[in-house]
Amino acid sequence: MTSELTRFDDKLFDLCRAILDDPDYRALQPNLEAFFASPASQEKLARIQGKGEDLQRRQMSGERLPAHEIAAFEEERDALFDEPVIRGFFDAQQLAHRIQARIHDCVSKTFELGRVPNPEDLKKDECCGNSGCGCH
């Protein structure tokens, strides 16, 4: 099986090069570099993520969370997006996720159809537009 998969390696590496050469992706690279060069930003994000996980764990265990505690967390979380380094990191992450999802959708559709999908095939599977549906 391994030798069969290696036939795809060249094309896979071409795809990886295309991603790295994409102007939108390249434009976001400085955002990633700035975030990873900023221990303060990383610490701030990790602290907020930890608080969010703690609140979620407590809520899932049946604890009723005080409204002021939830509001304080949401205010602190929202303030992260006002910081350019963290905002840039999230923008870069979102683009990476969109690229990964598009690649996954296209490859899945290829297996489903038994041919290379055309743009119309992929449009049929795009998000329904309802928030909370799971497509986002």
Contact 99, 67 (CB under 8 A): no
- Domain assignment present for 118: yes
Q: Which domain holds residue 87?
A: 14-123
- Domain assignment present for 60: yes
Neighbour count for residue 86 (Cβ, 10 Å): 22
Neighbour count for residue 109 (Cβ, 10 Å): 17
- Domain assignment present for 81: yes
Please indicate, yes or no, whether the overall pTM of this predicted structure exceeds 0.85: no
- Domain assignment present for 133: no
Burial of 71 (0-12, 13-18, 19+ CB in 10 A): exposed
What's the total number of domains in the chain?
Answer: 1
Phi, psi (degrees; rounded to nearest 5) at 5: -70, -30
- Domain assignment present for 64: yes
- Domain assignment present for 62: yes
For residue 53, give the amino acid letter: E
Element (H, E) at 32: helix 23-36
- Domain assignment present for 71: yes
Contact 80, 38 (CB under 8 A): no
Tens digit of pLDDT per residue, the chain (136 long)?
556 667 788 899 999 999 999 998 899 899 999 999 999 999 999 999 999 999 999 999 999 999 999 999 999 999 998 999 999 999 999 999 999 999 999 999 999 999 999 988 888 655 555 444 445 4
* CA torsion angle 93 95 100 105 (round to 10): 140
Residues 21-44: pLDDT tens digits?
A: 999 889 989 999 999 999 999 999
- Domain assignment present for 7: no
